Chains A and B, each alone.
Chain A
Amino acid sequence: MSLASDHRPAAPEGLAIAPALPDILKAIKPRTGVTGFLRRHPTIAVGGGLLLLLILVAGLAPYLGTVDPSALSPARRTRPPSALYWFGTDMLGRDIYSRVLYGTRVSLLVGFAVAILASIGGLAIGLVAGYVRWADSIIMRMMDSLMSIPPILLAVSLMAITRGSVGNVILAITIAEIPRVSRLVRGVVLSLREQPYVDGAVAAGTRTPMIILRHILPNTLAPMTVQATYICGSAMIVEAILSFIGAGVPPNVPSWGNIMAEGRALWQVKPFIVFFPAAFLSVTVLAVNLLGDGLRDMLDPRQAKGH
C-alpha cells in the first residue's frame, strides 16, 4: 500500500480509492531461442531428438563398434547378449548388434523416401482433383480402386513382377500410400476453395495458378506434413512386414524385417533375436509419430504461442 500511495492522486471528497494490487502475478518472460522452442514443443523435442539420434546411428554405423553385419560364424550361433555380442548372435552366428544398426539405414531410407515421394505425388494429384472439377471424379475413382487393394498385397505383387530391391520396396509402398495422401489433400482443397479469402483473391484478380500456389497450397502444407510423418512411420512398418514375409528387401541386406523373419522360428527359445530389431522399429515409429504430433500443433499459426 505504502509503495504506491506516494504518487497516486489524493482521493476526491467522499470517494475512496481502491488499494493498489499487490505484486502477486509474476511477469511472464517469453523464452526465445532453442530452449524456448523446446519448452513450447516438448513432443517435437523428444520425437526429433530420438529421430536425430537414429539418423546418427544409421550414418555412423561402421564406427559404433560394429563388425561386418553379414560375416558368418557358424561356431558361435544363437549366443545370448554378452559383453562381446551386445545383442547376441543369430542362427548363422552373425552379430545382431551390427545387423540392427545397419538395418536402421534401410528403415530410415524407406521411411523418408516413401514419405517424400508419396507427399509429392499425393499433393499434385490432390490439388488437381480438388481444384479442377471435371477431373475430380475420374481421379478419385482411380484412387478408390487403388485403395481397394490391400497395400501389402499390392506391394507383394509389385515385388513379384519386379526384382526385390530397396528401390522397388520404396516404389511399392509409395504407390500404396499415394491414394491416401491425395484424398487428404483433395479434402483440404475442397474446403479451402470455398473460403471467402479465395473468392476475395479471385475478385482481386489473382489467376488460377497463383490462387493454388499462394492461397491453397500453403494451407494444405500443415496437414500434409503431419500426414507425411505418419506415412514415414507406417512405411517403416510395411517395409518390415514385407521383409518379414520375404517380399521385401533381399535377404542379404540386413533390415529389421529380415532379422525378425530369420529369428521367427527360434523366438520361443532365443527371443533376443526378434526383440532388438522389434524394439528399434517401435522406438523409431514412435519418434516419427511424436514429431508428427508436435508439428501439427506448431504449424497452425493460430496456435502459435508467445506472440
Chain B
Amino acid sequence: MTRPLLEVNDLKKHYRIAGGLFGGKPSYVYAVDGVSFEVARGETLSLVGESGCGKSTVGRAVLRLFDITSGQVVLDGQRMDDASKDALHAFRRRVQVVFQDPFSSLNPRMKVRDILAEPIRNFGLAASAADLEERVGRLMDLVGLPREAVRRFPHQFSGGQRQRICIARALAAEPELIVCDEAVSALDVSVKAQIVNLLQDIQRELGLALLFISHDLAIVEHMTHRVAVMYLGKLVEVAPKRALFARPRHPYTKALLSAVPLPDPGAARNRIILTGDVPSPVNPPKGCRFHTRCPYAFDRCRSEEPELRVAPGEHWSACHLHDLPDAQNPLLAPLAS
C-alpha cells in the first residue's frame, strides 16, 4: 500500500476561553478533540458536519495556521506540526487553501497580478520576470479568466470570478493538496456548479488531492471520493462516498442524509428530525458525544465513548449499536421506506 499524502493523527485543538492573568479556573473550547484521517494523492476527502463542529479548525490545522494542542499532521511521511521554519516553508508550498468568502480572501489593495505573483515569488518558482508573467497568465487561463484582467483589483470582479482568482492563487504554488474550506458555500447555485466543475477539472488535470470542507451534502456527493463526518470535534464516520450515502453506519450521518432536500417534493421519505441543539464544545457530554440527540441512545452510550472501528469496505464508524446483534441494530434498516 502506498503512503498517503496527508495523515492526521489524533489532532486536538483546544482554545482557552477563561482564566488567565487574574486567576480563575481556566476553561477550554474543545474545538477539535482527537481527529485522525488520511488523504491519498489525487483523492478528494470531504469533511462534513454542522456549523461549529470543528471542521474548519481541522482545515486550518492542516494548513498550520496555528499551533495545534496535540497530535500529528504528517505530509508525505514528514511531520509538520513541529517542523522548523524552513521545513514549514517547503510544506506551505505543497498545501494551499481556498476560503469560503471570496470577498475577504483577497487583499483589496492588490491587483490580481500581484496576488497571483506572491506565492510564485515566495517559493521561487519563476526563473525570470518573463516566466513570472507567463505563469500568472497560465493561471488565469487555467481558471477561465481573461489574461488582461490581471491588471484589475479584486473589487472589480463578481463573487464567482473572485473565487476563481482564489483558486488560481492556490494553484500558483503548484500544491499537491488544496484545502477547500466551504469554498463554494457562499456562491449562488449556478456559480457554485461552475466552481465545483472547475475544481474537478483542475483536480483531474493536475492530480491534486482536495480536503473539501462543506456542509452541503449534495455537492459532497457530486465531487468526493470519501467522506468524513464530524460531530462536536470528533469524527463519527469515515467511508467511501457510495457506502456512506447508501448505508450510513452512524445515527448522526443517517440524520444528516435524511435532511438533504430531494428534487422530488412528493417523494416519500423517513426523515430523522434531531431534537435539541448541539451541546457546547466547552462542556461536551460524557460517553458518546451524540447521545443527547441520538434517537437510538441506550445506557452504554451515556457512559462509554465509542471508538472508530472499521467495517468491511474501509467503512469506519464510532457507534455502540454495531455491538448489538444485527437484528436489533436500527442502523441496518434501509434509509428510505
Chain A residues with a Cβ under 8 A of chain B: 137, 195-197, 199-207, 214-215, 218-219, 301-302, 307
Q: How far is the CA of A197 from the CA of B114 in the complex (A)?
A: 13
Which residue of chain A is the closest to B107 with respect to CB atoms? A197
The answer to whether A204 touches B122, judged by C-beta atoms less than 8 angstroms apart, is yes
Residue B283 at the chain A interface, CB threshold 8 Å: no
With A203-B92, A203-B96 in contact, do A215 and B153 touch (Cβ < 8 Å)?
no
With A196-B99, A197-B104, A219-B109 in contact, do A204 and B118 touch (Cβ < 8 Å)?
yes
With A301-B155, A302-B155 in contact, do A203 and B109 touch (Cβ < 8 Å)?
no
Q: Which DSSP category, helix, strand, loop or mixed, fits chain A's interface?
A: helix
With A196-B101, A200-B169, A307-B156 in contact, do A205 and B123 touch (Cβ < 8 Å)?
yes
Taking CB atoms, residues of chain B closer than 8 Å to A301 are 108-109, 153, 155
Within 8 A of A (CB), among B81-112: 89, 92-93, 95-97, 99-101, 104-110
Taking CB atoms, residues of chain B closer than 8 Å to A204 are 92, 96, 118-119, 122, 169, 172-173
Which residue of chain A is the closest to B166 with respect to CB atoms? A200
Taking CB atoms, residues of chain A closer than 8 Å to B119 are 204-205
Contact of B65 among A199, A205, A207 (CB under 8 A): A199
Residue B45 at the chain A interface, CB threshold 8 Å: no
Residue B254 at the chain A interface, CB threshold 8 Å: no
Q: How far is the CA of A203 from the CA of B118 in the complex (A)?
A: 11
Known: A196-B99, A219-B109. 8 other contacts (CB 8 A): A195-B104, A197-B104, A197-B106, A202-B92, A204-B118, A214-B118, A219-B108, A302-B155
Contact of B104 among A196, A202, A203, A206 (CB under 8 A): A196
A190 to chain B, nearest CB (A): 15
Q: How far is the CA of A307 from the CA of B151 in the complex (A)?
A: 13
Taking CB atoms, residues of chain A closer than 8 Å to B107 are 197, 201, 214-215, 219
Residue B60 at the chain A interface, CB threshold 8 Å: yes
Which residue of chain B is the closest to A222 with respect to CB atoms? B109
Taking CB atoms, residues of chain A closer than 8 Å to B155 are 301-302
Q: How far is the CA of A201 from the CA of B99 in the complex (A)?
A: 12
Mark each residue of chain B from 207 to 240: 1 if its CB lies under 8 Å from any CB of chain A, else 0.
0000000000000000000000000000000000
